[in-house]
Structure 1
Amino acid sequence: MHVPDGFINAPVSAAAGVVAAGAVAVSLRGARRELDERTAPLAGLVAAFIFAVQMLNFPVAAGTSGHLLGGALAAILVGPYTGVLCVSVVLLMQGVLFADGGLTALGVNITDMAITTTVVAYLVFRGLVKVLPRSRRSITVASFAAAVLSVPAAALVFTLFYAVGGTTDVSIGKVATAMIGVHVLIGIGEAVITALTVGAVVAVRPDLVYGARGLHRPLKLKVGGKLVDAPAAAPAPVAARSHRKLWITGLVTSLVLAGFVSFYASANPDGLEKVAHDKGIDSKTKEHAAADSPLADYGVKDITDARLSGGLAGVIGVGVTVVAGSGIFWALRRRRTSDAASTELTATESV
């Protein structure tokens, strides 16, 4: 659903850029609260995994494909604020290095694909978790529902952008019907990927899943004929439970998906591309400013073998994304630690 330059006019694109910048600023502050010893090491990996899986277009209808947006997955694994940043990092890497998604439309894409999907998914997820039984299966079910709803929500937001600032004269009703219709189908694919990924992580390390915190009910003991909560066991030190194994597994999986499996992805246009072509929305599309990038269109320039070119581009993309994302989240985590230390020092001095 990457919006290219030329779909949305300059004033609306600029306004979307302001909204996106404000949301990212708020997310930077919010992520400092979310990025603790459990989520901080995984946030950059989540961004890299989303980048890799977005290369895997899957067929959804005749001549149409879809791909993961990733907002639901990121929000559930590392938190909503950090999730917005994860998807934003992916979109920035795709736009600058791979000419995927317009640069003037970056604000539109962040608002649509990062903010909308993350917010909608997390609200749905939290609402369902509160009413469903507290179990690992409930986390997976809530993840599926949150993801499946987040994609048509993003399609609706694009339709609203188009209604206000579309550069072509196409009936908004036709655009809405086509966009939401096809993205309901894409949402099912998104939900399957999200539920499988969240379920896999919850199965091995539920302590690392932001949305699964507080999953287990307290142990009950019968005392004097009444059930009472058992004293909570002291939590194991975080350092004692290394993230290394999961991190390496996730990184290797991302590299394999982007470097090898992506070659077998569907070559059909995605939902937005298909609708834009069928309805004439793409008649004023502008050439991407990074069209001459050595990695444009997910291929390495001057390498003629398509499999090798695409695979190398995918591996490079995963590497750049994990480094950029990890650097940002490490800096935020360090800032949180510094702020906490300063607050503690101030409190001590005042005493």
Structure 2
Amino acid sequence: MEATAMHVAGGTVGTPVTIAFSVAAVAALGFCAARARTHLDRPSALTAGLLVVLLLAAQLINHLLPGVHGHLIGGALAAMLVGPWIGALTVTTVLILDGLLFGDDLSTLGLNVLNLAILGTAFAYLLVAALLRGLPRNPDGLATIALTTAMVSAGAAAAGAGLQYALGGDPPLTGLTGQMVGTQVLIGIGEGLITAAAVVAVARFRPALVHAVTGPRVKRTPPPALAAVADEPESLYRVVRRRGHTAY
């Protein structure tokens, strides 16, 4: 039997495992939708719409290896352009349309949403946020982040699929986790190059549309107590006097 490195095929994972992971996917999507409300504006909505078209076309390209085949995910690109919350919803929309238009088994939609939309985008965003602490938000920095992020997020999504196969899959599929992760990381190199080219192009043309450029940013603000003291220096003197200490 052939296993997909990313899309979990219908009938390959038992019903209890499918239900459990699908419930987790619904809960995660609900959280993403709630958070996305505060971040969604006209530019990000337009970018998300374009991403849906691009990713839907990209997922039609399969990369075959013996026993396993995989395809581009798009979690890294979505996370870098529109952020984690809208990005997860964007990839979910792609998966739903993929199932409706191209005949993917919708019974495993929850499994695939959890792997590609939730895990793939979440790991991508966490890595983007971490790398932005040390890399500049210029073309070279964004390209490095895109390449690294695509590889890691692809491996994370494949590991999620491997875990599902291991917990509830047929015996021939339970030993494919390592091969699936390795396959998808290799595909992630190609995806990283595509992601880097797309992000750098958009950043040069309209940097305001790239979430990795406009955010996340580390805010270094003092604690409220210190901020109050900074606003009223005399308050610190009064506190010292009340406690019986001498201020020098």
> Is residue 134–residue 215 contact of structure 1 (8 Å, CA) maintained in 2?
no
SS of equivalent residue, structure 2 residue 107: coil
* Corresponding residue to 1:67 among 49, 71, 74: 71
Question: Is 1:197 the counterpart of 2:202 in the alignment?
Answer: no
Question: Which protein, 1 or 2, shows the higher relative CO under an 8 Å CA cutoff with sep ≥ 6?
Answer: 1
8 Å Cα contact 2:158/2:184 also seen in 1: yes
Give the counterpart letter for 2:74 in structure 1: G
Taking the aligned partners of 1:11 and 1:185, their CA distance within structure 2 comes to 31
Whether 2:143 is the aligned partner of 1:140: answer: yes
User: Cα offset for 1:96?
Assistant: 2.0
Distance 2:114 2:164 in 1: 10
Distance of 1:83 and 1:160 partners within structure 2:
23
**Candidates 157, 164, 182, aligned match of 2:160:** 157
Q: Could you tell me how far apart the structure 1 residues matched to 2:16 and 2:216 are?
A: 46
Equivalent of residue 79 in structure 1, options 60, 80, 83? 83
Q: Could you report, residue by residue, the CA deviation over 1:233-278 in whole angstroms, capped at 9, with x for unpaired residues?
A: xxxxxxxxxxxxxxxxxxxxxxxxxxxxxxxxxxxxxxxxxxxxxx
SS of 2:124's partner is: helix
Find the aligned partners of 2:58 and 2:173 in 1 and give their Cα distance: 33
User: Once the two structures are superposed, what CA deviation does each residue of 1:205-254 show, in whole Å capped at 9, x if it has no partner?
Assistant: 111111111699xxxxxxxxxxxxxxxxxxxxxxxxxxxxxxxxxxxxxx
2:142/2:200 contact within 8 Å kept: yes
Aligned length: 212
Q: Residue 14 in 1 paired to residue 16 in 2?
A: no
Kindly tell me: are residues 194 and 23 of structure 1, through their superposed partners in 2, closer, same or farther at Cα, counting changes over 3 Å? same
Distance 2:106 2:72 in 1: 20
Question: Contact 2:48–2:90 at 8 Å: present in 1 too?
Answer: yes
Give the counterpart letter for 2:110 in structure 1.
G
- Which residue identity does 1:98 align to in structure 2? F
CA distance in 1 between counterparts of 2:46 and 2:158 reads 32
Distance 1:211 1:154 in 2: 21
Contact 2:129 2:216 in 1 (8 A): no
What's the C-alpha RMSD, in Å, of the aligned pairs?
2.1
TM-score of the superposed pair, with normalisation by structure 2: 0.79
Pairing partner for 1:94 from 80, 92, 98: 98
Task: Output the CA distance in 1 between the equivalents of 2:18 and 2:32.
Answer: 20
Note closer, same or farther for the CA distance 1:122–1:104 as it changes in structure 2 (3 Å cut): same
Shift of 1:198: 0.8
CA–CA separation in structure 2 for the residues paired with 1:18 and 1:214: 30
CA distance in 2, matches of 1:171, 1:17: 20
Secondary structure in 2 aligned to 1:133? Answer: coil
Please give the secondary structure, in 2, of the residue aligned with 1:33. coil
TM-score, normalised with respect to structure 1: 0.57
Indicate the residue corresponding to 1:31 in structure 2.
36
Unaligned runs of 5+ in 1: 217-351
Deviations 1:182-215 (A, max 9, x none): 1221111111111111111111111111111169
Residue of structure 1 aligned with 2:171, choices 169, 172, 177 = 169
Conserved? CA contact 2:76–2:153, under 8 Å? yes
